[in-house]
Structure 1
Amino acid sequence: MIKHFFTIALRNLERNKAYAVINVMCLALGITCAILTFVLVTYHLSFDTFHAKKDRIYRITTELHQEGISRDASVPQPMGKAFSNDYEFSEKVAMVFSNSDMLVSVPSSPGDKKFKENLAFAEADFFDILDFPFVQGNRNTILTEPNTAVITERIAEKYFGDQNPINQVIRVQNKWDFRITGILKNLPVNTDRREEIYLSYSNLKDYDSWLAGESWRGLAGGMNCFVLLKPNVLPSDVDKVFPALSKKYYNERDAKAYQFKLQPLSDIHFNPELGGYLAKKNLWALSLIGLFLIIAACVNFINLATAQALDRAKEIGVRKVLGSGRKQLFWQFIQETAVIALLALVLAFALAQLSLPYVNELFAIQLRIDIFQDVYLLTFLPILLVVVILLSGFYPGLILAGFQPVLALKGKLSQKHVGGFSLRRGLVVTQFAISQLLIVGTLVIANQMRYSRQADMGFRKEAIVMLPVPERQKSTLSTLNSEIARIAGVEKVTFCSHAPASPDFASVNFHFDSRTEDEDFEISIKIGDDQYVSTFGLQVIAGRNLNPSDTVREFLLNETAVKKLGARSPQDVIGKRMRIGLNNREGSIVGVVKDFHNKSFHETIAPLCITSSNNWYFSCAVKINPANLSTTLGAMETAWKKTFPDQVYEYAFLDEQIARFYELDNMMLRLIQAFAGIAIIICCLGLYGLVSFMVVQKTKEVGVRKVLGASVKNIAWLFGKEFIRLLLIAFVMAAPFSWWAMNHWLETFAYRIQIGAGIFILAILITCMVTAIAVGYKSIVAALMNPVKSLRSE
């Protein structure tokens, strides 16, 4: 029986090739999106889930309670020891300090290989908390001795080739030698730990004495504390003791400001506020879009199947007369649907494989589609196939199976017997609504990204090259400055800790003038010399710029800081004294600069000060003339290498660094653009197929109208007016939801566009144009048909 049904299904598909091709293509596009979405979502959900004790692994984070609450993944350096000694909640506690772009070399190599690497200083218990497997070395003694290191297999091959790396020596920052005592298996792609070199934590004092000190005041970016809780300990119980810990190690005011909280390992990847990659709500939004596209494809199938039902009425009538029951006919159609869905799945799997390199490039990840290795995908595909078959085939199957044989054989069935146009209207409206939702989303995100790129940030960002400064002796800085300044094409040079818009230092200990207590807000800190203001084009609106002398401690404030201090005008703070937590630096306020964006547009402009200090000049910013760019860059490289011959040269354009603030937003834009395009294609194919059947049903009507004088325009409107009406209904349905959804997304930006009527008008115009193309072509063909042919049988 099954073989018989299968044979009939194939014959019906062969008989209606156009119908079959449209359905297979639509379903294949929908399933392709579903597969890619599923693989992407499961990839992100798998991050750091391979650790055996993952449910008991937490990271201690800092909550800064001032005007509001801000959170930081970093903790004061003494946290690990204090938590371990003062409380009995944990089995293991490990401090880890991560740093990027550290110079690593092999002193024994012939060419003295040098590379910039991400590395971390880690306590030995770190590898008892997180289960990164070792291929060489004794896990029990790893990093217990000073000047020892652990590296991955990839790093071992990169530096030592075929040699045994154990007991080999690497040199960090051209200063410190570390003996390799362990080799880690290459890190899996689904971990947020990106460091491939781990150094003994006891050597942190050599890198920075303050980082390795006992000060509880201030946070150093990259200083993390990981905890493995005992089996019966609840994280809520641990969170309750943190206020007491703050009171023990801080004065009364700071104890209120510095609060701590556990963060589950599973939350790290999904918490952008604490350095995570993306929020989980983005994954759920992506899943919802994938679901919408599957629904749109199934809607096509239902529409075309019910529209074609009248053409199959006599076949169904004969089968019923010959004894086929309603149940048999229903399952026959389900089998036909299954054949189409199976073909679509095979095609979708191939399309997903072809699309995967583009997805990997877009997200800078390493996804694979392997049903034999991925048990989740192997489970998902059959479930998806069944859902598609039931969604697509259930209703049309009931319609076909419910035909009355007498009416079917006499050809007296009409549209009302297949659900009329009411159901199809609803389904077409659903398709239009999904398309418009995605189009509106694309337009809003694109406009916000354009605004983020083009809006004035309050400083100069074009044609500025950022160079690293690995050594900060005054004589070295002077040499580099003079070498670069004499290059033709170089207009300005400044040394600084950070560019105006970048991660920066922050101080919660900010004392102003003669006030008895520190201010109750955090102030951001930029370190720059006297050329910082002119190089970046900042505007001094009161007072003067910083003096060239590095020994005189002076400060510039921004307008926001002045307002926070309660001053009536910028002039009121000139000459006042202030102190910040950066080594308790104290000096006079000599000027006020106009507000500029010191972070991305996701964040509000923060209170900020600018001061100078040679010890904190990590970067050299060079304003260049864009003419003869390659010559200027080459000369700058020569000058830099002459100053730092033992270092690895690299540079970056400031505007490109700022663009990376919106990397994830741009990824989402490109993905939604692709999904919107696919939704439009599915909609077009469906409309084309539906209009094709409508043309067949209305052949005689079109002929009569043409005989009575109807023009091509009149005939085209006959078919098109119904869809225009449905499009307007879909717009009324989709507009409020898309407005709400995109406003919700825009809330992540402190500086944002407003969603105006123009975006919705453009969305409906795009959909109208697509509809006109899909419907218009077939309508015009019908209108140009000779009426004699359509009326010949009358």
Structure 2
Amino acid sequence: MLKNYFKIAFRNLKRNKSYALTNVLGLALGIASAVLIFALVKYHLSFDGYHSKADRVYRITTEFHGEETTYSTGVTSPLAETFRSDYPLAEKVASVAAIPDRVIAIPSANGTEAKFEESLAFAEPEFLDILDLPLIRGNKQSALRVPNTALITERIARKYFGGADPIGKTFRVDNIFSVTVAGILKDLPVNTDRPEEIYVPFEHLKQHSPWMVEKDWWFSVSRSLQCFILVKPGVTPARIKEALIAMSKSHYNAKDAKYFQFRAQPLSDIHFNPNLHGPVEKRNLWALSLIGVFLIITACVNFINLATAQALKRSIEIGIKKVLGVQRWQLFWQFIVETAAITMLAMVVALIMAELSLPYVNQLFDVQVKLHLFSDVYMLLFLPALFLVMIMLSGSYPALILAGLQPVLALKGKLSQKDAGGISMRRGLVVMQFAICQLLIIGTLVVAGQVRYSRQADMGFRRDAVVMLPVPNNEITKLSALKAGLSGITGVENLTFCGDAPASEFAPSTSIQFGSRPKAEDFGISTKAGDANYASMFNLQILAGRNLMPSDTVREFLVNETTVRKLGLAKNQDAIGQTAVMNGYKGTVVGVVKDFHNKSFHQGIDALYITTLRDNYGACAVKVNMANMNATLGAMKDVWAKVYPNNVYKYDFLDDRIAKFYDRDRIILNLIQVFAGIAILIGCLGLYGLISFMAAQKTREVGVRKVLGASVQSIVWLFGKEFTRLLLIAFVVAAPLGWWVMNNWLENFPYRISIGAGIFVLAILVNMTVAVLTVGYRSVKAAMMNPATSLRSQ
């Protein structure tokens, strides 16, 4: 019998090619979207889950409980050793410092050097036991214990040494120390938040960045210096928290213990915690999953609309079968098998679409997802489950309706809309489609507006045509040579040496003790190192006092308006001439600058100061003339290479650097745009199904109206007023829900756009335009039909 069902199913599909093609396309779009979304969500949820002891691995982080609570992925330098010796909760404890963009110099036989930039990890040996970093060559007992040695991955070995044996090869790090390759690590999987591929012993951090590892100093935290622990079996997070609280109390006074608080972050949380720079929030994954569910629902709605629209065409077939004794349940399963056949074809098309679109998805969303359709156990479970769900959602209602048709009415041709499932159900389904489309359109418009605002809004400083160059060595002679060379280039209008641009993703914070006040303030203050040209270069407005005088050491401070306000001063002028101690440096406040955004619009403006501290100059910001940009950039590269011949040249524009603050928002925008477009396309198919049903039901009415002199426009409106009502109902449903969802999303931005009426008007206009184009074709076709043909068909 099943064989006969399939024969009948394929015969009907062959006879109704347009119906079959529309259904296959609609279902395929929904299935392809669901498969890609499932792969994206699974990819993110899998991060660092491959470590065999992942459930017992934690990273210790720091919370600063001042006026506001801030977070750091780093810890103080003595924390790891203290936890290891004083709190017997962990099997292994390891400090690791990952520092990006290190210059690796590989000597060659002819005396030249090949230079690369890589992230470098300074790690204690126990780190190899905490995370799974398989050593495929070398001695694990001595790994990261012997000075001047290094572990590199297979990929780095191929990159640096080609086919030669890498063991025993030497390279130099930042022109500070040399190491010999002592071991080869297995290549890292893509789903890790620890992408470093070069490991050197932790003790070399003293040579490279001595300020990070000041012994017994509990008041300095670098986000790069992190501590990982592998707790003993049975140790609960509550016990770790108690130990960390006790550690704070034993190494700080009561006030500082309240300010410096340490937390244990599970390894599984690292990828998803935005406060600690996790790249993805879990709520975004759930939102993405919900979009996938919506797309599946809209695809199934299309099928139901089109299937029930075909019901009356098959009424005679059903009537004859019932007269001949075919049972209702047999008819039900016949139509379920037809649904399964269509879904099977749609599944094949969907998988092809997903595979073909995957490279574009990876590029668009900055991921490295792979579809292991026949080897991934989760995918092998997901696809059959999705197949069955699609069949039941799409086929059950039409099958019940078709199997329940009355044979007498069917053979007499007296079936009505009510007998074929009625139009109320289809109206409700299309309203649901419209609402989903409008919700996604509203989301797209809001996210796009906020991203555009973030990139274009005035941040309070000059950022256009500013090129940021690295300063690998800030000795006076090097800085002077670089300044002289750059200043002589036609097209260079201004420059300054600084720690970073006025806005940076990570701003170090310190304490401030102001004037004659006996103790430090309760709030932290962000630090900016910049020479005397910093304010003029970035067009910072000095509201009171004067600019910094040229100096290589800390003598004077500029502070912003927020600092003045947090200090409780009545006016800006009250800060001028006062002494202050910040980050251990004593100086005089000589000026107050107008507030500018020192971070992204996700965060508020911090209290901050600017001072001349040459030791912290790690960048040179250059204002260039855009008229002859290529020649100017080429000349800048030549000057820089002469000053720093042992380093790798690179540059970026400040505007591009600021745009990276909003990469996460850009990815969200890409996601919602792509799937909103798919939802609209699926919705168009749903509208086509509804209008097809209406046209079939109103064939005689249209013929009568035309005979009586009705115009094409009036007949088109006969169909148009139906979808207009549905569109307005959907808008009433979607608008408040869209406002609530997107208003909650905007709460992440202290500086944000407002959701005005224009967004909702534009959303409904977009949906209306799409609907008019979709409905217009089918309704005009019905209106143009010869009335004699229309009347004879009834």
TM-score of the superposed pair, with normalisation by structure 2: 0.98
Aligned to 1:752, the other structure's residue is in SS state: coil
Amino acid at match of 1:709: G
CA distance in 2, matches of 1:305, 1:339: 14
Equivalence for 1:754: 754
CA distance in 2, matches of 1:209, 1:703: 89
| 8 Å Cα contact 1:102-1:118 kept in structure 2 | yes
Aligned to 1:548, the other structure's residue is in SS state: coil
CA distance in 1, matches of 2:424, 2:771: 19
Structure 1 residues 572 and 712: CA distance shift in structure 2, 3 A: same
| 8 Å Cα contact 1:458-1:596 kept in structure 2 | yes
Shift of 1:505: 4.2
| 8 Å Cα contact 2:687-2:771 kept in structure 1 | yes
Equivalence for 1:75: 75
Shift of 1:506: 2.8
Equivalence for 1:55: 55
Equivalence for 1:314: 316
| 8 Å Cα contact 1:498-1:504 kept in structure 2 | no
Deviations 1:104-128 (Å, cap 9, x if unpaired)? 1123454311111101100000000
State yes or no: 1:745 paired with 2:757: no
State yes or no: 1:234 paired with 2:236: yes
Equivalence for 2:325: 323
Aligned to 2:178, the other structure's residue is in SS state: strand
| 8 Å Cα contact 1:541-1:593 kept in structure 2 | yes
Structure 1 residues 428 and 112: CA distance shift in structure 2, 3 A: same
Structure 1 residues 507 and 449: CA distance shift in structure 2, 3 A: closer
Q: Superposed, which structure 2 residues align to 1:273-672 within 5 Å?
A: 273-551=275-553, 553-581=555-583, 584-672=584-672
Equivalence for 1:15: 15
State yes or no: 1:710 paired with 2:704: no
Shift of 1:222: 0.7
| 8 Å Cα contact 1:104-1:117 kept in structure 2 | yes
CA distance in 2, matches of 1:586, 1:227: 38
Further displaced range: 409-418 or 257-266: 409-418
Amino acid at match of 1:222: S
Amino acid at match of 2:302: N
| 8 Å Cα contact 1:47-1:192 kept in structure 2 | yes
Deviations 1:388-407 (Å, cap 9, x if unpaired)? 00000011111111112222
Shift of 1:311: 1.3
Equivalence for 1:693: 693
CA distance in 2, matches of 1:140, 1:550: 46
Shift of 1:328: 0.8
Equivalence for 2:155: 154
Amino acid at match of 1:731: F
Equivalence for 2:116: 115
Equivalence for 1:218: 220
Structure 1 residues 300 and 503: CA distance shift in structure 2, 3 A: closer
CA distance in 2, matches of 1:90, 1:449: 44
Shift of 1:638: 0.5
CA distance in 2, matches of 1:170, 1:24: 58
Structure 1 residues 308 and 505: CA distance shift in structure 2, 3 A: closer
Shift of 1:206: 0.6
Q: Superposed, which structure 2 residues align to 1:129-208 within 5 Å?
A: 129-208=130-209
| Aligned pairs, number | 792
Amino acid at match of 2:24: V
Deviations 1:575-595 (Å, cap 9, x if unpaired)? 1111112xx111000000001
CA distance in 2, matches of 1:792, 1:177: 93
Shift of 1:552: 5.3
CA distance in 2, matches of 1:574, 1:517: 20
CA distance in 2, matches of 1:131, 1:462: 45
Amino acid at match of 1:122: A
Aligned to 1:667, the other structure's residue is in SS state: helix
Equivalence for 2:4: 4
Amino acid at match of 2:760: F
CA distance in 2, matches of 1:107, 1:305: 71
| 8 Å Cα contact 1:23-1:301 kept in structure 2 | yes
| 8 Å Cα contact 1:19-1:689 kept in structure 2 | no
Deviations 1:216-257 (Å, cap 9, x if unpaired)? 112112110000000011011110122221121123321110
Shift of 1:7: 0.1
CA distance in 2, matches of 1:217, 1:147: 30
CA distance in 1, matches of 2:710, 2:135: 81
Shift of 1:693: 3.0
CA distance in 2, matches of 1:528, 1:642: 23
Amino acid at match of 1:701: E
Aligned to 1:514, the other structure's residue is in SS state: coil
Deviations 1:279-319 (Å, cap 9, x if unpaired)? 10011111100110110000010111112111111111111
| 8 Å Cα contact 1:504-1:525 kept in structure 2 | no
Structure 1 residues 388 and 703: CA distance shift in structure 2, 3 A: same
CA distance in 1, matches of 2:640, 2:793: 89
CA distance in 2, matches of 1:704, 1:597: 69
Further displaced range: 240-249 or 483-492: 240-249
Further displaced range: 435-444 or 706-715: 706-715
CA distance in 1, matches of 2:66, 2:37: 40
Deviations 1:27-49 (Å, cap 9, x if unpaired)? 00000100000000000000001
CA distance in 2, matches of 1:417, 1:249: 80
Amino acid at match of 2:582: I
| 8 Å Cα contact 2:58-2:266 kept in structure 1 | yes
| 8 Å Cα contact 2:510-2:527 kept in structure 1 | no
Q: Which runs of 5+ in 1 are unaligned?
A: none
Aligned to 2:212, the other structure's residue is in SS state: coil
Shift of 1:373: 2.3
Shift of 1:364: 2.4
| 8 Å Cα contact 2:365-2:670 kept in structure 1 | no
The CA RMSD over aligned residues, in Å, is: 1.2
Amino acid at match of 2:318: I
CA distance in 2, matches of 1:676, 1:491: 45
Aligned to 1:417, the other structure's residue is in SS state: coil
Shift of 1:793: 6.4
Deviations 1:150-204 (Å, cap 9, x if unpaired)? 1111111111111111121111011201121111111100000111111100111
Aligned to 1:412, the other structure's residue is in SS state: coil
Q: Which runs of 5+ in 2 are unaligned?
A: none
Amino acid at match of 1:116: E
CA distance in 2, matches of 1:524, 1:195: 28
| 8 Å Cα contact 1:507-1:580 kept in structure 2 | no
Within the candidate set 228, 248, 251, 1:249 is matched to 251
Amino acid at match of 1:771: A
Deviations 1:503-532 (Å, cap 9, x if unpaired)? 344334211111111111111101000011
TM-score of the superposed pair, with normalisation by structure 1: 0.98
CA distance in 2, matches of 1:783, 1:107: 80
Aligned to 1:737, the other structure's residue is in SS state: helix
Shift of 1:792: 4.3
Structure 1 residues 107 and 414: CA distance shift in structure 2, 3 A: same
Structure 1 residues 576 and 793: CA distance shift in structure 2, 3 A: closer
| 8 Å Cα contact 1:504-1:524 kept in structure 2 | no
